[in-house]
Amino acid sequence: MRMPAIGITCYPDQGGSGVVATELGLNLARHGCEVHFITSSLPFRLRSYGKNIFFHKVEMPEYPVFRNSPYTLSLATAMHDVALHHNLDILHVHYAIPHAAAAFLAREMMKPTPLKVITTLHGTDITLVGQEPSFFPITRFLIEQSDAVTTVSSFLKEETKKVFGVGDDIEVIPNFVDPRVFKPRQDDELRERLAPGGEKLILHASNFRKVKNVPAVVKVFGLLRRDHDVRLLLVGDGPEMSEVQGLVEQHELENDVVFLGQSDHLEDILPVADVLLLPSRHESFGLVALEAMACAVVPVMTSIGGASEFINDGHNGFLRDPDDIEGMAEAIGTLLDHDNQRQNMAEDARRDATMDFGASCIMRQYLELYEKLI
């Protein structure tokens, strides 16, 4: 079978959907697919152009009559042009709004030449954005019009069916991790720089949006700091950053919290941590937790959403309600107080992440879906 030519569109900035889409494209290219990224800017994990990888920037012309540039129309035009000139078989879009809308238009423009559209739902496109009254009808329409729809967890599939009343044929293809990239490694120099007094390290990484519940991270850390020699690493940036910085100052934790900002190389930072803390209001999956597990770092994570599909509470991580500040602090305290238990859980986390959610296994599911469509 000829390997398909695939156009991938995602949000290119730091966030789970963009990370998954980029890593998917990179792995598909290694399998022999021709992959064309069609985005507004270079995806932040697309660090170099490898074999079979192409990037097409969506141009957004300015015109006085437009108060805001009509990005969806520019994206649809770019998708059509790339599909036409590079003989794409599939447009695989990540996050429904506006990418599925643009793909629908591009497919219509391509007729009668066949072009398939796959929409992968990642979470907030269904649980938040898609439920906005102004977006609800078109989100449901785009789900129905896609040639195939996938979700990153069973939780999200059921949520989509419950909210929109469609999606019985949605295929669950979970997020994945590349164990060649995310793996345990010893970096004494980095560890000493981040924990100069030999402190244990708690890490949180996100896009600092309200749904990530980052203030809870600071509150949990404040409780831990009373009885443990620990430091907190905050990786990422976003709209809630100023509130988080204020909370750190309010609790007089400035000397114990390290703001690392956005990082294109999370695989270098994760392995030096002892615990990952992710108390989101909900997570359809929680990719960073899976990446931490592959690095042999134990996650303490929200119990709301799809995390239970890869975290076995008390065995390879802990699941707690995002408002249970004391419960999260207690779970982390147990790990900090009992090194052997933490190491055993870390080994289980690493094994479960790489065996059940390794890139090669999940790639087979995507390739089977592509073959079925074309």
How many whole angstroms from its chain centre is CA 338?
30
Mean pLDDT of all residues in 47-69: 80
Which of left, alpha, beta for 167 (phi over 0: left; psi -120 to 50: alpha)?
Answer: left
Q: What is the DSSP letter of 366?
A: H
What tokens does 177 get? 């991790």
Confidence band (pLDDT; 50, 70, 90) for 128?
low
pLDDT digits (tens, 9 = 90+) for 164-199: 888 889 999 999 999 999 999 999 999 999 999 999
Round to whole Å and give the CA distance between 226 and 275: 17
Q: What pairs with residue 233 in β-bridges?
A: 203, 258
68-120: per-residue pLDDT in tens?
Answer: 778 999 999 999 999 999 999 999 999 888 999 999 999 999 999 999 999 99
Q: Is the dihedral of CA 125, 18, 94, 21 positive or negative?
A: negative
Q: Which domains does the chain have, with CATH numbers?
A: 5-176+358-373 (3.40.50.2000), 188-356 (3.40.50.2000)
Task: Give the pLDDT confidence score for residue 214 in this predicted structure.
Answer: 96
Measured in whole angstroms, the distance separating CA 178 from the mean position of its chain's CA atoms is: 13
Please give the average per-residue pLDDT across 20-48, as a whole number: 89
Rounded to whole angstroms, how far apart are CA atoms 15 and 18?
A: 6
d(C-alpha 117, C-alpha 90), whole Å = 6
pLDDT tens, position by position, 323-341: 999 999 999 999 999 999 9
pTM over 0.75: yes
Handedness of CA 189, 190, 192, 193 (dihedral sign): positive
Q: Quote the CA–CA distance of 213 and 211 in Å, as a whole number.
A: 5
The pair of three-digit structure tokens given for residue 373, joined into one six-digit string? 């469509």
Q: Are the C-beta atoms of residues 231 and 195 closer than 8 Å to each other?
A: yes
**Is residue 249's pLDDT more than 70?**
yes
Flag whether pLDDT at 43 surpasses 90: no
Interval 247-274 mean pLDDT: 93
Q: How much is the average pLDDT of 128-144? A: 80
8 A C-beta contact, residue 44 and residue 12: yes
| β-strands 116-121, 90-94 pairing | parallel
> Given a cut of 80, is residue 66 above it in pLDDT?
no
Of 73, 71, 37, 77, the closest CA to residue 57 belongs to: 37
Q: Is the pLDDT of residue 19 over 90?
A: no
Helix (H) or strand (E) holding 139: helix 136-145
Terminal CA-CA length for the chain: 10
Model pLDDT for residues 334-368, shown as the tens digit of each residue: 999 999 999 999 999 999 999 999 998 899 999 99
Q: Which of 6-10, 41-45, 321-325 has the lowest mean pLDDT?
A: 41-45
